[in-house]
């Protein structure tokens, strides 16, 4: 089930809201969220909901063991157990087929390739429960003693399937005691509708364009056509992912949870370093706090640490070489920026943004094609090495018929709405100051 599904919008969500708000009893409300969250997850994968419950259960007890044995060997053993079990499950279900295929390819052996169905959202809830046990071990959060509250945190459907990655430390107070207010419900509903609009009216349309222009034999496509397809994919993935995050944050707020932001207009960035401070921020913060800094961060082996982090970032997105190349692409760019490029980019702001957009588009080609041969064909056509010509008259017709949609899709990748809101607030504030005085209005209003 997805948030844009009509069943979800017209039956699942309204029923959830009615049952949730019909009583003020906190225990009942938590139980409603758990039941609807498990139903939401089981809608597409009724078997693997047991894996989610298992993951929540083992880390609930790991947290208690860590708290009881704080400063002792038992706490460290519980942390190791949590890491082994969670990463082991993630490795089996998501990566075992990839590893066996590549072992067979390298060695010439013929081991049977596992074919597990990938449980939806396993990467997200695995990272969430791991962050909980690690933070318990570090003493940054207290262990949750209520199994039902912890299960609610892990299974909460508002962000379970596609994020953002919600760390327990950020919502611990609201898991234990939260207050739903009319202002939060209003703000959450508005945020949900913004995300739904992004998904339905922009991401889905851009996705259809990307599919049309990036599928099939690209060596028969004109250069401009393929570039258009890549740009449409860049628009699709931004509006799809940020739209889902908007909907998740909005739904969470309706139920009294205040999740951290996950996107901050990443396409206005002027470097790859800045891009990853704005794109999928919850993932970047996770790898920073639980991988990069523990490895030594900036203090020792910085570039090796960056290489490891970006290898893992790519691999986290999928068990395929194209995702690894995509992650390492950004890792190499960030290392180069730290060595010398950032200083140069700061001197030419306009060119730095062009550089970033170009780098991101190259990255999205890697992300899109799991077939490395098709990826190579795409690059050949993009840079005129396939001899297919530059322009196609059919693209001209598409641009003419969709010019206003394209302008809107590109424009709202930029912080237009926040800028307008800020301007209106400043205007209202100025008028309010002026209304305090009757004379002289002209020079007061100019302050």
115 in helix, strand or coil? coil
- The CB density around residue 29, as the number of other CB atoms within 10 Å, is 20
**pLDDT tens readout for residues 63-107:** 999 999 998 999 999 999 999 999 999 999 899 888 998 998 888
Q: What is the pLDDT along the chain (447 residues), one digit of tens a residue?
A: 788 889 999 999 999 999 999 988 888 999 999 999 999 988 877 888 999 999 999 999 999 999 999 989 999 999 999 999 999 999 998 998 889 989 988 888 888 888 777 788 888 999 999 999 999 999 999 999 999 999 999 999 988 877 799 999 999 999 988 888 999 999 999 999 999 999 999 999 999 999 999 998 898 899 999 999 999 999 999 999 999 999 999 999 999 999 999 999 999 999 999 999 999 999 999 999 999 999 998 899 999 999 999 999 999 999 999 999 999 999 999 999 999 998 888 888 889 999 999 999 999 999 999 999 999 999 999 998 888 888 888 888 999 999 999 999 999 998 888 888 787 877 776 666 555 444 444 333 333
**What does the alpha-carbon distance between residue 445 and residue 447 come to, in Å, rounded to a whole number?**
5
* pLDDT score at 88: 93
Residue 343 and residue 183 in contact, taking contact as beta carbons nearer than 8 Å: no
Report which of 124, 135, 200 is spatially closest to residue 170, judged by C-alpha positions: 135
Report which of 195, 124, 188, 116 is spatially closest to residue 161, judged by C-alpha positions: 124
Radius of gyration from C-alpha coordinates of the chain? 24
Positions marked catalytic? 317
**pLDDT tens readout for residues 333-371:** 999 999 999 888 888 888 999 999 999 999 999 999 999
- The CB density around residue 213, as the number of other CB atoms within 10 Å, is 25
């Amino acid at each position: 089930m997805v948030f844009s599904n009509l069943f979800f919008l017209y039956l699942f969500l309204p029923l959830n809201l009615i049952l949730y708000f019909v009583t003020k009893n906190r225990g009942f409300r938590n139980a409603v969220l758990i039941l609807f969250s498990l139903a939401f997850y089981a809608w597409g994968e009724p078997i693997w909901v047991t894996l989610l419950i298992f993951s929540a259960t083992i880390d609930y007890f790991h947290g208690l063991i860590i708290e009881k044995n704080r400063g002792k060997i038992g706490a460290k053993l519980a942390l190791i157990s949590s890491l082994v079990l969670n990463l082991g499950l993630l490795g089996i279900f998501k990566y075992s087929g990839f590893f066996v295929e590549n072992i067979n390819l390298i060695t010439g052996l013929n081991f049977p390739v596992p074919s597990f169905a990938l449980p939806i959202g396993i990467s997200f809830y695995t990272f969430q429960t791991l962050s909980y046990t690690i933070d318990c071990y570090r003493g940054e959060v207290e262990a949750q003693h209520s199994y039902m509250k912890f299960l609610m945190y892990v299974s909460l459907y508002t962000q379970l399937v596609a994020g953002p990655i919600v760390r327990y430390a950020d919502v611990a107070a609201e898991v234990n005691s939260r207050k739903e207010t009319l202002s939060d419900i209003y703000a959450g509903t508005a945020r949900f509708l913004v995300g739904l609009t992004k998904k339905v009216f922009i991401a889905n349309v851009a996705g259809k364009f990307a599919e049309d222009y990036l599928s099939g034999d690209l060596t028969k496509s004109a250069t401009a056509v393929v570039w258009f397809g890549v740009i449409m994919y860049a628009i699709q993935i931004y509006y799809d992912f940020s739209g889902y995050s908007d909907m998740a944050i909005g739904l969470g707020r309706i139920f009294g949870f205040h999740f951290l932001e996950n996107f901050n207009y990443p396409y206005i960035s002027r470097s790859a370093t800045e891009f990853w401070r704005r794109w999928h921020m919850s993932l970047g913060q996770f790898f920073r706090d639980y991988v990069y800094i523990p490895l030594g961060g900036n203090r020792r082996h910085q570039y090796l640490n960056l290489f490891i982090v970006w290898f893992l970032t790519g691999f986290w997105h999928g068990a395929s070489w194209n995702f690894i190349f995509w992650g390492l692409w950004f890792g190499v760019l960030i290392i180069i920026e730290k060595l010398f490029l950032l200083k140069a980019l700061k001197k030419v702001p306009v060119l730095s943004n062009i550089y970033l957009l170009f780098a991101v588009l190259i990255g999205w080609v890697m992300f899109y094609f799991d077939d490395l041969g098709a990826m190579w064909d795409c690059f050949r056509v993009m840079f005129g090495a396939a001899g297919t010509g530059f322009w196609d008259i059919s693209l001209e017709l598409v641009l003419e018929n969709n010019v206003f949609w394209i302008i809107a899709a590109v424009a709202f990748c930029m912080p237009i709405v926040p800028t307008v809101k800020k301007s209106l607030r400043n205007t209202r504030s100025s008028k309010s100051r002026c209304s305090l005085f009757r004379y002289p209005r002209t020079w007061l209003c100019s302050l």
